[in-house]
Amino acid sequence: MKADQIQEFIEMQNPASPVYWQVAESLRKRILSGELRPGTRFPPEPELASALGINRLTLRRSLQILTEQRLITQLPRRGTFVSFARTKGLRIGVVFPTNSFLELGSYFQQLLAGINYGMFGKENSELVFINSAGIKSSKSIETINRARCDGLIVAINHRLLAKILCQKAYDHIPMIFVNSFEPCVEAADRYIVRLAKGSIQTGVKHLLALGHTRIAYISLHIPFLRMLLQRNDEFLNCRLKDGINAIGKAGEDWFDYSRKTACDLCKSKNPPTAIVCPGIIFASGAWQGVMDAGLRIPEDVSLVGFDPVENTNPYMTAVEQPIGIMMKKAVDLIYDMKSAGKPLKEQIYSFPAELQERGSCKPLETGDRKKPAAEDNFKQDKTSHCKQQTGGD
């Protein structure tokens, strides 16, 4: 590269900054942008300094800064070369709900942390947050095009959103749906990373093993949230003889409904000895409801939550999704989809839940009640024998 071409790149705009710093900063921008490509040879120092109108000492200070930043390499008797090679990364869009993270509880915060974990080691990659409201509008494809995404991670489960993103107009965009059970997603050959079925049954089995049979399940029936419907069905399919189906109708506040329902159940003539919930907001409400009823956890009532925030109160036993592993898989799948000759082996990638015992459950002390075997009370069937206490599905 000739000295006059280098000179065209230099911008002297801030008189408050030293000249050597301005020269280094201008060259740094051009190297990082790709205007000065790897292997580009700078002109000899005398020629370059003369073209820039600076002395060689000032030039050397500028080049020393770039050398320390590992952007150039200075070889004795050979010259100065651009050594930085820009790594090709991806720009991944993450579709989140309209609500803020704080309003939605910890689940989406954990998803974000998991995606960040998945991006570790992916140099020069970017995350772009896309509000789901923009996709649900009539200009949905424009919203995604403006974001300039190489792929999408759909972190929200919503029937209308899924139908839009499964249209043929979006076939060119690699996308991964998280925890989706929408039939249209599978029919459109979209890829899915989700928790394996049976997560609620994992919690129920744990309580049965501790001797509990009168187990209450507190949730809501929300038609457009199939992930929640799936968990509700998992409890109903357990066919617990003394189980309490406390699935309310849509429209209730999750925390308030769970709190009131747990309190009412605990004050009833035949209260549950254990409660299981399909999400952290439900579980937090149920915990408070037990306290409102004047009972203690786990002394009076055992509680199994779902995806609690680790090392925070209440410290509850819970069914947990391996969110970090799931989100890393989602990111890796998008990279695989963008790599030529690397086909994906499956359409749905399922990850089993794990139960973490943190002290909110204890064995049932029944006195004259015989501790039942878990297999005697745990039978999967499409029909539920649980008693309906509140709401309906």
pLDDT at residue 98 above 80? no
Answer whether residue 21 is part of any domain: yes
Counting Cβ atoms within 10 Å, is residue 178 exposed (0-12), middle (13-18) or buried (19+)? buried
pLDDT at 212: 95
Local confidence band at 391 (pLDDT 50, 70, 90 cut-offs): very low
pLDDT at 327: 92
Average pLDDT over residues 223-249: 91
Do 152 and 215 share a domain, yes or no? Answer: no
Residue that finishes a domain, picked among 195, 226, 253: 195
Query: Do 122 and 183 fall into the same domain?
Result: yes
362 in the same domain as 220: yes
Same-domain status, 98 and 53: no
Residue 325: inside a domain: no
Confidence band (pLDDT; 50, 70, 90) for 235? Answer: very high
pLDDT beyond 50 at 245 = yes
Q: pLDDT value at position 370?
A: 44
Question: Quick check: 15 pLDDT over 80?
Answer: no
Same domain, residue pair 40 and 145: no
Instruction: Quote the pLDDT of residue 367.
Output: 47
Identify whether 344 is part of a domain: no
Q: Could you tell me if residue 343 is inside a domain? A: no
Name the domain boundary from 82, 106, 125.
Answer: 82
Mean pLDDT of 306-317: 82
Sign of CA dihedral 236, 238, 239, 242: negative
Specify the pLDDT at position 127.
84
- pLDDT digit string (tens) for 177-220? 999 988 999 899 899 999 999 999 999 999 999 999 999 999 99
Asked, for residue 336, whether it belongs to a domain, the answer is no
Q: What is the pTM of this model?
A: 0.70
Contact indicator for 117, 328 with CB cutoff of 8 Å: yes
Predicted confidence band of residue 130 (pLDDT cuts 50, 70, 90): confident
Residues 285 and 380 in one domain: yes
d(CA 23, CA 55): 12
63 and 182 in a single domain? The answer is: no
Q: Tell me whether residue 236 is in a domain.
A: yes
List the CATH number of the domain containing 167.
3.40.50.2300
- Using alpha carbons, list the distances in angstroms from residue 238 to 84, 206, 372: 60, 13, 15
pLDDT higher at 389 or 281:
281
In this structure, are 303 and 237 located in the same domain?
Answer: yes
Residue 57 lies in a domain: yes
Say whether both 179 and 308 belong to one domain. Answer: no
Same domain, 96 and 28: no
Confidence band for 386, pLDDT divided at 50, 70 and 90: low
Instruction: Provide the pLDDT confidence category of residue 156 given band limits of 50, 70 and 90.
Output: confident
Q: What is the CATH number of the domain that holds 75?
A: 1.10.10.10
Last residue of a domain, one of 134, 167, 195: 195
Q: What's the mean per-residue pLDDT of the chain?
A: 84
Same domain as 103, residue 74: no
The verdict on residue 208 lying in a domain is yes
- Domains of the chain: total: 3
Residue 246, domain extent: 199-320+353-388
Let me know whether 231 and 310 are in one domain. yes
pLDDT given at position 387: 54
Reported as a pLDDT band with limits 50, 70 and 90, residue 73 is very high
